[in-house]
Structure 1
Amino acid sequence: MAFIDTYVKEILGLEVALFHARSRLEAETDSEALHDLRIAVRRIRSLLTPWRSLKEMTALREAAAEVGRLTTPARDLEVMASELELRGMPEAAATRLSRLKTDYRKILNDPALDGLFAALDQWPSAFRASEPSNDSRVMKQVIVKALTKQIDKLHCALDDEQYDRHELRILVKRTRYLTEAFPQLSPLSTKAAKSLKAVQSALGSWHDHFQWCLKVKLEPDLKSLEHLWAEASTGELRQAEDEMQKLKMLLPKISGKKMAVPKVARKTGADSK
């Protein structure tokens, strides 16, 4: 099978997964429907990343990004409710779960979701008509260049102790998702890929607890967990820093160039107080 066919098949497969997740969300059959919908959207966006400048990708890229933004608040609320149940606060969890049903309806009725399916239907023919799709070798070169650029950015961010950890979390996520989208072209070793996932996990947990501490100021029923979350945030950031040191040793030196990564003041839970 030609590379272009494999590539298009991958995105069409994600369209099917997206359709199933939407159906499950409509039927309210399980608690993972929104999560799975967001995973499908995330993978579509990752597959499109190397072609950001290609006009044939614009409609689908923007539609996927819009659905990502649309679904983020509801997913955050799901995670919060799960945390509250885990901490033995069923009433606080139930309050948030009751809000989720309304959020799900808003997502399902929002034009952005239909817009994404419409863009997915139109995309294959538009992309096949584009110049890069006519040459598998060129397609692979574009993807390898995107992977190289992303890993170089990550190298520079990891080398900068003052680099904002919130921004670093996003950079790690993008690098991981891009490498997972094109595993056959990724220069990462198995150990490096595992390390990248470990860094994302630690930074993700830190980010959740950091954000929850901020919510305490707006949602008084969370006050009893503030100290616990603050401690967890500190420990998870420390774990993330340890994992980042391991990742630095495992990332391949690809281009040998020093990317110009904007300096951003580092933020931590302690800094916000």
Structure 2
Amino acid sequence: MCMSSLAEQILARVLALQVRLYACQARLAAVTDAEALHDLRIALRQLRSLLRPLRGLPSVDALEQGAAVLGRLSGPLRDREVLIGELQRLGLPHLAPLDAAQHAAGYAAIASSRELAELLLLLDAWPTNWRQAAAQGQLRGMDKRIRRRLRRQQRHLAAALRDPAHDRHRLRLLIKRVRYAAETYPAHGGLGKAAYARLKRAQSELGDWHDHLQWLAQSEASEALKPCSGHWLQAQAMAERRADEALLALYVDFPVER
């Protein structure tokens, strides 16, 4: 059995992401630029967004889990990169928690990590597994599966937006999933440009709020960062207000289904 057009597209996108991950690994190992870790994490996010609606299909779950594990491993170092960028913006680069040598060591550790090696092995096996699944008829109904799962994500977001005790952390996660799914499968999500723009704004505002919340927690535990706490407290309150405004704007795009 030949693969459907959609199955072919998914295979091609996974292969393209594999190439990007190999390139990011080389950049991290050689410490060639400051964007290598960020680019690695974007590739992981795009891979997971591609795979999440396909859960349960052959070879999908292990690959998505491998990407999630590597994402968790690389998260703390990326958080420190973002903090360092904020300290530089404030004119306080000397308060950075890591020096250049420590950063380089962190990059090298990720490049040579077991988690990245295992993910790349899974990606090496992906084309054969995917083609076999198609030949055995296991990819039938994939189009409907994607539409159904993207719609379910949107329903969860609609309910969470209207929950009086809503958790901004959970809303941030739901918005990221809905936005990235719409970005990955634009023909399946049913969202227009305006809705996508409002999702992007809400994610950005919630991300700003989340960053300041993290930095404030670190300033409470670190004497070196205490000079920043007053500024961050004010900025966090402003970010929270902007985030709530952006969340309210999403109501029109994600109504509660009757």
Alignment TM-score > 0.5, same fold: yes
Q: Say if 2:63 is the partner of 1:60.
A: yes
Aligned residues: percent identity? 37
Single out whichever of 12-21 and 128-137 deviates more from structure 2: 128-137
Q: Say if 2:141 is the partner of 1:157.
A: no
1:230 corresponds, among 227, 230, 233, to 233
For 1:132 and 1:190, the matched residues in 2 are separated by 37
Superposed, which structure 2 residues align to 1:150-189 within 5 Å? Answer: 150-189=153-192
Superposed, which structure 2 residues align to 1:45-124 within 5 Å? Answer: 45-93=48-96, 95-124=98-127
Give the letter for the 2:31 counterpart. E
Which residue of structure 2 aligns with residue 42 of structure 1? 45
Mark the CA change 1:222 to 1:97 in structure 2 (over 3 Å): closer, same or farther: farther
Give the superposition deviation at 1:135. Answer: 7.8
Which residue of structure 2 aligns with residue 139 of structure 1? 142
Mark the CA change 1:58 to 1:68 in structure 2 (over 3 Å): closer, same or farther: same
Give the letter for the 1:52 counterpart. R
Mark the CA change 1:252 to 1:185 in structure 2 (over 3 Å): closer, same or farther: farther
Q: Is the 8 A contact 2:172 2:203 kept in 1?
A: yes
Q: Is the 8 A contact 1:81 1:94 kept in 2?
A: yes
Equivalent residues, number: 255
Q: Is the 8 A contact 1:81 1:96 kept in 2?
A: no
Give the letter for the 2:143 counterpart. K
Q: Say if 2:184 is the partner of 1:202.
A: no
Give the superposition deviation at 1:94. Answer: 7.2
For 1:132 and 1:203, the matched residues in 2 are separated by 44
Which residue of structure 2 aligns with residue 12 of structure 1? 15
Give the superposition deviation at 1:90. Answer: 2.0
Q: Is the 8 A contact 2:58 2:129 kept in 1?
A: no
Give the superposition deviation at 1:3. Answer: 1.5
Mark the CA change 1:245 to 1:81 in structure 2 (over 3 Å): closer, same or farther: same
Q: Is the 8 A contact 2:58 2:130 kept in 1?
A: no
Which residue of structure 2 aligns with residue 28 of structure 1? 31
Q: Structure 1: 5+ residue runs without aligned partners?
A: 258-273
| CA RMSD of superposed structures (Å) | 1.9
For 2:118 and 2:242, the matched residues in 1 are separated by 40
CA deviations over 1:191-224 (Å, ceiling 9, x no partner): 0001000000000000000011000122211101
For 1:243 and 1:134, the matched residues in 2 are separated by 43
TM-score by length of 2: 0.93
For 2:99 and 2:228, the matched residues in 1 are separated by 16
SS in 1 for 2:251: helix
SS in 1 for 2:143: helix
Mark the CA change 1:16 to 1:131 in structure 2 (over 3 Å): closer, same or farther: closer
Give the letter for the 1:167 counterpart. R
Give the superposition deviation at 1:143. Answer: 0.4
For 2:239 and 2:23, the matched residues in 1 are separated by 35
For 1:16 and 1:243, the matched residues in 2 are separated by 36
Mark the CA change 1:188 to 1:221 in structure 2 (over 3 Å): closer, same or farther: same
Mark the CA change 1:187 to 1:153 in structure 2 (over 3 Å): closer, same or farther: same
TM-score by length of 1: 0.88
For 2:139 and 2:133, the matched residues in 1 are separated by 12
Mark the CA change 1:252 to 1:144 in structure 2 (over 3 Å): closer, same or farther: farther
Q: Is the 8 A contact 2:28 2:36 kept in 1?
A: yes
Mark the CA change 1:132 to 1:190 in structure 2 (over 3 Å): closer, same or farther: farther
Q: Is the 8 A contact 2:198 2:249 kept in 1?
A: yes
